[in-house]
Structure 1
């Protein structure tokens, strides 16, 4: 009996001594055995790095490309509910059989010669890349998992590189020095290939890398930009690599950061596809990204887990009519700055429900409650898990109250699955 997708995922979690092992040496060996270094995996490849906004940028660029008639593949991480979410073709998640076939090919290549040890993420990335190469879509969009320079995604060359924002996150691996973090993110840049920079300010280390590689750089606020319109929509203006100027008006709000939306349109133009107004409107009206300001009734789910992302979530909630009470269902890993995250969200949260998260990096609900108290916040209760918090809160939640679930992918995934199960049981 052949191994299932769940079997493979369990196997990959066990086969390498550490979960994260920065470096491309091992990945490059297996990539070469798979033929991934012999030619492009798609007609155009876009790589997306940054601290925040990577997932929303990938989602909007993918939707824009399809609206303009391109075939697409996208690779993102982590997933919320199913591993299949990580690899999509033309907006549809890859099936189990396709993913298993990719893992089998990576395993065969890993053992073809001196065995090479790969992490869960590295094996998954190589499996996605070789699967994309088989399909060879017109556009492949690859999200960097961690950093850039030493990330497994960086084993392939991109035609267009995107750097969204740079802030402190994953300090255990990237440190706390923004110049150092910028250097790692800029590792996705390639000699003479254009780069889209989705922040109005980036560390000097990024500019130095741009100059060293003679990269044509397109900056938010200088080469392209967006402006909000009075009708709730927005406009975009930018240019192609050849210098052609474009402008799009009356675009609908995608419900995602407009900085990232502007980056996505600019990246499309640098892929040689002039953005058209009707197609761009269609894309922005139909884009959706699970776990990013995702609403289920009066529950809002967002994977924000650092202060920069939390401030954006807070600004979006501040635009809504204030409910009778807004509850922050919060779970934060131990290596994240929970105090700063709570401070960023405090203006839009009335009371907190801290929850525990599992694993070595996990933090208990009781421990998180002490952080809430240190920031002057009020706590309803402390729950052992996101699912337990949903079970406790659901019968107590009034119709005129709202819940924001945030702090980690683990928090959102656990609470979202629990709430969906309850809603399905009640239907």
Structure 2
């Protein structure tokens, strides 16, 4: 077969695999390490920290873990290190979850990993996320890497990612989200996220305001603790900012003149502390280069008049609202779709003052809230809803938003509320970009 035929066949085969995995396990989310741990051991994956295994940094938190991982990756790549990263969920292609050197791995590599897992699991049932996590670890273990970066999917203590002992464990923020799995008490949620800490290893706390349970757990395990605002910090320097903290040898460091990142600066400061604690060679120049280059799909992502952000809980929405408030005043249209299990009122309320009108859309998942209910909620709070789309058709909603931009009534479109919402419009934006290209 030609290469294009081979690629098409692999893509089809991966699609078949993913469809099968969606229905393989009785529960979409099934927290616990016993089943997946048995399979990992059969695969002989290096779960324990050792000099032979690549250094590993694990990231947990309600918000900010993806951004912090992305900046850590960018700095490590700028330093010339060989890096594997595992994140979730994906937007358009499953391959986004598993990256080597910042690039998604091939369909063929994922299929090969799935086949190994399938052979090893035998009678053991695995969820979609557990299969994905094991696939990332299989691929990383076969690659010549210096650093593994692993993002927790849900919680921490019982998440499949927590199979791997982290050399550096990062908890970015703790807020109410996924209460049906983690509980509705911040101390309890903090304890779950602190489950990624390991005895005697480094624990990086990426917020000034965390439940006491997070630091208490790190202390109980004898971790070396580094918390934003205490053991490390960041501050403005007019057009730049300064980081202050220490390296893995406990030597105090100050890095002035750092470039303003495109992502939250608290997360940037946390990423700097994490990468310096890895013990790998990362220069000040690599830190500056990585911070200036790091981007994350769906986090304050700008394309022309469009701004895409996956804000889907109150803490994330409050941050987005603060960022919008600092921008030049404009007439702003927002497109929103949300999951039914989210705190919709508390998520949307901070954004009402920054948004002039709303388009409400359905999403392609049974977990989504009915758009009419979101419309009613927005209007009860004084929001102006122009249209409701009862089908998850990103192209249709995109066309309507583009039409409204064209009339001059609005200057900016913000897409928010869920990973699913952003995914709908990433696809539409990419299609629009392709159709606008003219070959000369």
* TM-score, length of structure 2 as denominator length: 0.93
Q: Which residue of 2 aligns with 1:158?
A: 166
* RMSD (Å) for aligned C-alpha atoms: 1.6
Find the aligned partners of 2:433 and 2:48 in 1 and give their Cα distance.
48
Find the aligned partners of 2:369 and 2:382 in 1 and give their Cα distance.
20
Find the aligned partners of 1:80 and 1:404 in 2 and give their Cα distance.
17
Match of 2:14 among 2, 5, 20: 5
Q: Which residue of 1 aligns with 2:97?
A: 86
Find the aligned partners of 2:278 and 2:430 in 1 and give their Cα distance.
38
Query: Are residues 274 and 223 of structure 1, via their aligned partners in 2, closer, same or farther at CA, if it must alter by over 3 Å?
Result: farther
Q: Which residue of 2 aligns with 1:35?
A: 44
Structure 2 residue runs without a partner (length 5+): 1-8
Alignment of 1:306 with 2:339, yes or no, is no
Find the aligned partners of 1:158 and 1:38 in 2 and give their Cα distance.
9
Q: Higher mean Cα deviation, 390-399 or 212-221?
A: 390-399
Find the aligned partners of 2:279 and 2:212 in 1 and give their Cα distance.
29
Find the aligned partners of 2:117 and 2:91 in 1 and give their Cα distance.
24
Q: Higher mean Cα deviation, 98-107 or 234-243?
A: 234-243
1:352 deviates by: 1.1
1:392 deviates by: 2.1
Alignment of 1:178 with 2:186, yes or no, is yes
Structure 1 residue runs without a partner (length 5+): none
Query: Could you tell me whether the CA contact under 8 Å between 1:253 and 1:284 is conserved in 2?
Result: yes
Query: Are residues 351 and 153 of structure 1, via their aligned partners in 2, closer, same or farther at CA, if it must alter by over 3 Å?
Result: same
Alignment of 1:402 with 2:412, yes or no, is yes
- SS of 2:334's equivalent in the other structure is strand
- SS of 1:362's equivalent in the other structure is coil
Query: Could you tell me whether the CA contact under 8 Å between 1:58 and 1:143 is conserved in 2?
Result: yes
1:101 deviates by: 0.8
Match of 1:373 among 360, 366, 379: 379
Match of 2:83 among 62, 67, 72: 72
Q: Which residue of 2 aligns with 1:203?
A: 211
Q: Which residue of 1 aligns with 2:110?
A: 99
Q: Which residue of 1 aligns with 2:422?
A: 412
- SS of 1:185's equivalent in the other structure is helix
1:342-373 deviation digits (Å, cap 9, x = unpaired):
11112211111111123331112211101101
Find the aligned partners of 2:53 and 2:400 in 1 and give their Cα distance.
48
1:146-169 deviation digits (Å, cap 9, x = unpaired):
000000000111100000000001
Query: Could you tell me whether the CA contact under 8 Å between 1:386 and 1:411 is conserved in 2?
Result: no
1:207 deviates by: 2.3
Q: Which residue of 1 aligns with 2:34?
A: 25
1:39 deviates by: 5.1
Find the aligned partners of 1:278 and 1:209 in 2 and give their Cα distance.
34
Q: Which residue of 2 aligns with 1:421?
A: 431
Aligned residues between the structures? 422
1:195 deviates by: 0.5
Q: Which residue of 2 aligns with 1:344?
A: 350
Query: Could you tell me whether the CA contact under 8 Å between 1:268 and 1:274 is conserved in 2?
Result: no
Find the aligned partners of 1:386 and 1:296 in 2 and give their Cα distance.
20
* TM-score, length of structure 1 as denominator length: 0.95
1:386 deviates by: 5.4
Alignment of 1:216 with 2:224, yes or no, is yes
Find the aligned partners of 1:39 and 1:401 in 2 and give their Cα distance.
52
Q: Which residue of 1 aligns with 2:299?
A: 292
- SS of 1:377's equivalent in the other structure is coil
Query: Could you tell me whether the CA contact under 8 Å between 2:76 and 2:286 is conserved in 1?
Result: no
